[in-house]
Amino acid sequence: MSNLFSKNALTVLTKRYLKNDKDNGKIESVEDLFHRVASNIAEGDKVYDKETDIKKTEKIFYDLMMSRKFMPNSPTLMNAGRDLQQLSACFVLPVGDSIDEIFESIKHAALIHKSGGGTGFSFSSLRPKNDVVKTTSGISSGPVSFMKAFNVATEVIKQGGTRRGANMGILRVDHPDIMEFITSKVDHNELNNFNISVAITNEFMTALREEKEYKLYNPRSKEEQGKLNAKDVFDLIVNCAWKNGEPGIVFIDVIDKYNPTPAIGRLESTNPCGEQPLLPYEACNLGSINLSLFVANNKIDYDDLKDTIHKSVHFLDNVIEMNNYPLPQIEKLARENRKIGLGVMGFADLLFMLGVPYNSKEAESIASEIMAFIDKEAKEASINIAKKRGTFANYEQSIFKNKNIALRNATVTTIAPTGTISIIADCSSGIEPIFALAFTRNVMDNDSLPEVNSTFETIAKREGFYSEEIVKTVAKQGSVKGIKSIPEKWQKVFCVSHDIEPEWHIRIQAAFQKYTDNAVSKTINFSNSATKENIKEAYLLAYTLGCKGVTVYRDGSRDLQVLTIGSENNSTTMQETIVDPHNVKPRERPKITVGQTIKTRTACGTLYVTINEDEHGLCEVFATIGKSGGCAYSQAEGLSRLISLSLRSGIDVNSIIKQLRGIRCTSPIWEDGELILSCADAIGRVLDIFVQNRDEEDSLKNINVNFNAKSSANRTNFKVTGETCPECSSPLEMGEGCMTCRSCGYSKCS
C-alpha cells in the first residue's frame, strides 16, 4: 500500500513521522502509522456510545488518509496513539499587564512549545514604554522589551531538542508603542522566533483613507494618549514589509466581526502563520483535503468531495476528544467551543488538471465555488454530529443561537499551511500557486538531480511536449514561461508563483476567505523589483476584498541591501612576489595603507569588508559582522587575519578568492541578484570584484557598475528565495507565511 505514496513522501514520513525505537531504528511502516492514527482517533466515538464498533470508524479514517484525500495537521500524525498525544498545532495565550501574568504566559508558552505547538500572543494589553508602574515607583519598558523575553525563552526550549518553537506577536495599531513594534524586526538578530503582525482597525483605515490622524490609547488607563498620522504609520509598515516581509497585517475588526462567541471573549491574536484567530487559551485542530484527487472527466467530482468532507469533520471532532491538551485552561475552552478547521491543499494542481491559469477570473470563480461547497457541507456535517452528540457547550452564547443553526463546532473551516502534509499527499501547498515546476535536488555532496512536479509531468507527457531537456530548462529557471516548445496555452496554465501578479494572489485569497470561518494562510509574492507602492496597493486591495490578514514577501528582500562603498580610492598596481616555500614569512605591515570598505549582506547580518593596499599591492583584509565577542564576529576576524597573512606572504589573491568562493552555509541569501552562500563566500565575492576593477581609472564607479550588471543579469531568472534547507540543502520556498522545504519537510515555523 505504501506504493500509493511518492518517493519524496516516503522520505518525509520516514524522517519525521514514523515511530522509532531508542536507537532511532524505525519500527513503524507507513501503513502502521495510519493504522495508529486511525485507531486512536476512532476511539473518540466511544465517548458517546460505549457499545459502538469503532473498527468501522477506524477503517473509514484509515482509508481517508491512505487515499491521500485528507490529512490531519502534523501533531496529530506524529502523536496520535503515542505517549504525548498532543494533537493540536495552534494555540493563543493571553499576556496580561503585570509581571506575574507576563511570566505565567512565558511558562505556558514553554509548555506548549515542548509539546510541539506554536503560540500566538497579543501584546496590546501591556502598558506603553515609560508608563508608570505604581508597585515599584518605576516606569514600564513596554511590549517590545517583553517580547524579547518570550523570544529568549523560545530559543532555550528550541535548543533543548524539541520541535522548533514558533510565535506570533501582535500589537494593535492604536497602541502608543506601535512605531517601535513595526520596526522591531528591522535588525534581523532580534525576535527571530517571532512572526509579527500589526492589528489594523477600521478606525485606522478610515483615517488612512481620509488622510487624517487617528487616536492612540493607553491600555492601562484606557485613555487617549496622543495621535499619529495614519499615512505615516502605514508607510512605515509598508517600508518594513518591503524590506524583509515583516510586519504582516491583520484586520482585527474584520476578524472579530466573525467571532462566533463574542460573549466569551474578543479575538485579539492568531496562531504563528496567521490563519487561525483564537481566543486566549484556545486551540484548534486542523486538517486539509487534497483537491487534486477530486477531478474526474475534466470536472470537479462534488459527490466524492462531499463524502470526504463529512468523514473529515467526523475525524476532526473526534480529535478534540482524544487530545491531550498542554494546559487545563486550554482543554476547557477547546472543549467548550470545539473549533475545527477543515481546509484544502492541491488547489494549484486542481487548476492544472482543469486547464485553468491561476491568474484568471475562472480560477477566482472556482476558488469561490469549491470553498462555498466545502463550508456548506462541513457545517452540514457538524449539524449532523450535533444531533447525536449535542452542540458545543458555549452554543447558547454564540451567534448561531439566534440563527437557529445547531452546530457541533463553533468554526469548521480554515485554510491552513500544509507544507509537510502536502508533501505526503504529493500535491501543491494549500491554495498557493506552484513555487517552481521543477528544481534541482541535492542528493550527495557533488551530485544533484532535477525533480519535476508530478502533475506537470503527467500533462506534459499526455500533451506531447515532455522531454528531459525541457525538465532541465524548467529546473534551471523554475517556470515554463518563454519555452517555445511548450504550447502557449500550457505556458499560461502552468504559471508559477512569480509569474502571477500580486493582485491575483490577493483575489484568490479573498475568494477562499469569503467562505472560510477562520482565516487563510497565504503569502503574496512580489518580484525583487516591486516597489513600496506595489506593497501598499496590495494591502488596500486585501482590505477592500474582505481578507482578514496579509503576508507579503518580496524576492530576496530578507538580508538584502544595496552594496555601498566607502573610503577614497587610491589603488596601486600589484607587483609579483616570488614565494620561497621553505621560508615563507609575511612582510611587515606598513604604518599607512589605503583602501576601500565595502558593505554587503549575509545571512548572519551586515558584513563590512575593508581591503587595504601597501606599496607592494594588497596587504590586508578586515571583515566585521555583528557585535564584538559574538561567534560571527570572531569567525570573520579569524578569517580576515588568515587572508591578510596570506596576502603579505605573497599568496596570489586569485588563489585566495578561489578557496573562499563556493563555501556554503545553511542560509544563503541574495545580494543584488547574486547568491551569497556564506560569510566566507561574501568576502571572496567582494575581493573578486575589487580585483577585477582595481586597475581601472575610476574603480569606485566600475565596482558599482559591475555589481549592477550582475544584478540585472541574474534578476530575470530569480525564482527561489536563496535560502537552502539546513537539513538537505534543497531550496526553501516562502509560502503560507513560512519558509518550507519541499524536499524533506523542514519548516522554519515548526
Q: Rounded distance, CA 730 to CA 747, Å? A: 12
- Among the listed ranges 182-191, 245-254, 336-345, 351-360, which one has the minimum average pLDDT value? 182-191
Q: Is residue 104 part of a domain?
A: yes
Confidence of residue 700 (pLDDT cuts 50, 70, 90): very low
Q: What is the percentage of the chain residues whose pLDDT exceeds 90?
A: 60
Report the chain's mean pLDDT, rounded to a whole number: 87
Give the position of cell 491600555.
219
E-strand stretches of 253-388: 269-270, 277-278, 282-290, 295-296, 299-300, 340-345
- Residue 597: closest CA among 624, 572, 576: 624
**Residues contacting residue 436 through CB under 8 Å, at least 6 positions apart:** 474, 475, 478, 479, 496, 719, 720, 731, 733
Confidence of residue 648 (pLDDT cuts 50, 70, 90): confident
Q: H-helix or E-strand containing 172? A: strand 167-172
Q: State how far Cα 507 lies from the chain centre.
A: 20
Catalytic residue among 40, 73, 259, 273: 273
Q: What is the pLDDT of residues 717-736, one digit of tens each?
A: 333 445 667 777 677 788 88
User: Is 271 one of the annotated active-site residues of the chain?
Assistant: yes
Catalytic residue among 73, 167, 271, 337: 271
Choose the final residue of a domain: 224, 243, 269.
Answer: 269
Alpha helices in 323-360 (DSSP H): 328-337, 347-354
- Total domains present in the chain: 2
Residue pair 164/749 in contact by the 8 Å Cβ criterion: yes
pLDDT at 140 over 80: yes
Q: Is residue 229 part of a domain?
A: yes
Q: What is the pLDDT of residues 143-167, one digit of tens each?
A: 999 999 999 998 887 644 445 668 9
CATH number at residue 211: 3.20.70.20
Rg (C-alpha) for the chain, rounded Å, is: 28
Coil, strand or helix: which one is 19?
Answer: coil
Q: Is residue 156 part of a domain?
A: yes
Q: What is the pLDDT of residues 688-697, one digit of tens each?
A: 888 877 654 4
Coil, strand or helix: which one is 637?
Answer: helix
10 Å Cβ neighbour count for 324?
13
Our CA angle for 119, 514, 350, nearest 5°, is 90
Confidence of residue 134 (pLDDT cuts 50, 70, 90): confident
pLDDT at 326 over 90: yes
CA-based max dimension of the chain? 93
Classify the phi-psi angles of 274: left when phi > 0, otherwise alpha if psi is within -120 to 50, otherwise beta.
Answer: left
Q: Rounded distance, CA 233 to CA 506, Å? A: 22
Residues in the chain: 750
DSSP-assigned beta bridge partners for residue 50: none
**Residues contacting residue 735 through CB under 8 Å, at least 6 positions apart:** 417, 419, 429, 430, 432, 435, 497, 523, 525
pLDDT at 501 over 90: yes
Residue pair 714/669 in contact by the 8 Å Cβ criterion: no
Expressed as residue numbers, the domain containing 590 is 564-715
pLDDT at 60 over 60: yes
Residue pair 392/408 in contact by the 8 Å Cβ criterion: yes
Choose the final residue of a domain: 250, 269, 288.
Answer: 269
Q: Is residue 289 part of a domain?
A: no
User: Is 275 one of the annotated active-site residues of the chain?
Assistant: yes
DSSP-assigned beta bridge partners for residue 601: 606
Choose the final residue of a domain: 221, 248, 269.
Answer: 269
Q: H-helix or E-strand containing 372? A: helix 361-389
- Among the listed ranges 248-252, 374-378, 480-484, 666-670, which one has the minimum average pLDDT value? 666-670
Residue pair 506/471 in contact by the 8 Å Cβ criterion: no
Q: What is the pLDDT of residues 81-118, one digit of tens each?
A: 999 999 998 899 999 999 999 999 999 999 998 888 89
**Residues contacting residue 23 through CB under 8 Å, at least 6 positions apart:** none
Q: Rounded distance, CA 214 to CA 224, Å? A: 10
Cis peptide bond N-terminal to 247, omega within 30: yes
Our CA angle for 198, 98, 282, nearest 5°, is 55
Q: Is residue 154 part of a domain?
A: yes
Q: Rounded distance, CA 280 to CA 76, Å? A: 22
Q: What is the pLDDT of residues 571-582, one digit of tens each?
A: 323 333 333 444
The C-alpha cell at 710 is: 550582475
Q: Is residue 538 part of a domain?
A: no
Q: What is the pLDDT of residues 406-457, one digit of tens each?
A: 999 999 999 999 989 999 999 999 999 998 898 765 544 445 556 788 899 9
Q: What is the percentage of the chain residues whose pLDDT exceeds 70?
A: 87
Catalytic residue among 275, 451, 620, 674: 275
- Residue 241: closest CA among 502, 500, 625: 502
